[in-house]
Structure 1
Amino acid sequence: MSKNIGVLGCGWLGLPLAKKLIEDGYNVHGTTTSSDKFSALENEGIKPFKVRLSEKEIEGDIQSFLSHLDTVIINVPPKLRGKQTESYVEKIKHLITEIKKSEVAHVIFVGSTAVYGDAEGEVSEESPTQPVTESGKQLVECESLFCNENQFKTTIIRFGGLIGPNRHPVTMLSGRENLTGGNNPINLIHLHDCIHMIATILAQGYWGELFNGVYPHHPKKQIYYFEAAQKRGLPAPAYDEEPDTKGKIVLSKNFMGKGHTFQTAIDS
């Protein structure tokens, strides 16, 4: 495999990932939707490109970004919360069309455990998808689009909830009342382990595979977020009294089954 990699989406995860890849000796192309961020990328040794995915087309010179790349890491999540109703699937279809025009041989598609929906009990990569949210439904469709392509090999990573520098779910939950699902287990992963998983896939050549990315510790939400709020001096979220429910525990069966471990605890 060549040492040329593209990171589509150099944000909270993509930028530190790109920095790690440069440390590992890769040549990295990175995209941003604003040319104002070019200098920040260039300062890290990343070759910047302005690219924006839209439902109608891809804005920017996507082929220059893809030029001479062996691998592309797609880290552009759906924007489907609240009243936003974009077609993420159409964006991905445009992207796949462009990738097929290039020399790219491998793709890592960063997805989400939202594809498992409201499943109960333990779920692994072998479990059926049953999404309930619009983003989860569109992610399932996008996964299928990538898996059905034979011009390049795609590995899919379904990350759980992301935590790390300046990012923790408790900041959004703090002070809220009458929340439900307090007895359900958490399924989180730290930024450092997201990067560790992607770097491992690249180093080992795990192509055409599916990985869940969730740290193997699953306390109840109401306990975990109460402790997290206390540590940060925030008002704790209040959950309704509910009968015990199983909720879902997402197992990272494939990654751990290959002998790999997670390195950064998700301490509240």
Structure 2
Amino acid sequence: MNKQISILGTGWLGLPLANRLIANGYSIKGSTTSVDKLDILKNSGIDPYIVELKETKSENQKALFLENSKILIINVPPGLRRNPESNFVTKIEHIIPYIITSGVEKVLFISSTSVYTDKEGFPEITSDTIPNATKNAGKQLIETEKLLTSHPSFKATILRFAGLFDSRRHPATMLSKRKNIQNPLAPVNLIHREDCIGVIQKIIEMDQWDQIFNASYPDHPAKSEYYSTICKQMNLPIPDYDFESSSKGKVIASTKVNESLQYDFTHDLYNS
């Protein structure tokens, strides 16, 4: 059995994911866009490569990075906050010929629940819910998902994560500095980094391809209640909320993760 996996993007999520997979007997090729990080990856037991996704065709080390791997995990954010004019779909499009040539058979694309629009009434969103994003980032993720899942040369699974957090990286640190925060009654949809890694591992181990999964911790307290509590725990200023406007949001259901992957979440929202 070929136990080599290529992880495109070995940063905050990708690096500990690679470490977990190595500990479970996998051989990992990891990509970075920084020469300075090559030694960090190598010292973690990862075979490192420089791979930069561009809107124009470029070689980098894409072919070597994918060589002999049967599974590719695409774990790179669109980066549209920093560069709203960027075309993420085209960037992914340019790596597909390398996927085909390399013989990669299975692709796991790390997407986001931002492909769903917030609404009044907070509808429950399952893995079968049709994405309906209206913002640029969400729409580009939808197009990227379609691009990968419709390709006949490999099987693609889409994994849409809710907001990611851990003890050192929590959205409360940013919200505590803001005023008139919108949608204070909206349900919170978050998932701890360790649970992200656990879900990915389950997909690989259980050979769950040609699938779509939404992943969020199953509790969904109101935004104002949750972040006020977390800010108190972290000794941060309590955020200021706009309770005058109506709240819009959604509830991300992880039923398929529980049932198809037999995964039980390990990190709740209040103890990171």
CA distance in 1, matches of 2:160, 2:259: 16
User: What do residues 25-81 of structure 1 show as CA deviations (whole Å, max 9, x unaligned)?
Assistant: 001000010111111111111000011001112451100000000101000010111
- 8 Å Cα contact 2:183/2:246 also seen in 1: no
Residue 21 of structure 2 corresponds to residue 21 of structure 1: yes
**Secondary structure of 2:267 counterpart:** coil
Aligned AA (1:132): T
User: Counterpart in 1 of 2:211?
Assistant: 209
* Matching of residues 241-260 of structure 1 within 5 Å: 241-242=243-244, 245=247, 247-258=249-260, 259-260=262-263
Give the Cα separation in 1 of the matches to 2:96 and 2:167. 32
* Unaligned segments of structure 2, at least 5 residues: none
Q: In the alignment, is the contact (CA less than 8 A) between 1:63 and 1:102 conserved in 2?
A: yes
> Percent of counterpart pairs with the same letter?
42
Alignment of 1:219-238 (within 5 A): 219-238=221-240
Partner of 1:136: 138
Shift of 1:121: 1.3
Q: Residue in 2 aligned with 1:33? A: 33
The aligned amino acid for 1:163 is F
Structure 2 residue corresponding to 1:266, chosen from 249, 269, 272: 269
Partner residue in 1 for 2:199? 197
In 1, Cα distance between equivalents of 2:48 and 2:131: 35
| Counterpart residue type for residue 15 of structure 1 | L
Correspondence for 1:166: 168
Q: The residue matched to 1:60 in structure 2 has which SS?
A: coil
Q: Which runs of 5+ in 1 are unaligned?
A: none
- TM-score under structure 2 length normalisation: 0.95
Give the partner amino acid of 2:235.
G
Aligned to 1:53, the other structure's residue is in SS state coil
Question: Which residue type is aligned with residue 143 of structure 2?
Answer: E
Matched pairs, number:
268
Cα drift, residue 6 of structure 1: 0.6
RMSD: 1.4
Partner SS, residue 108 of structure 1: strand
Q: Which is further off, 70-79 or 245-254?
A: 245-254
Q: CA deviation at 1:214?
A: 0.4
Residues 165 and 72 of structure 1, relative CA distance in 2, 3 Å threshold: farther
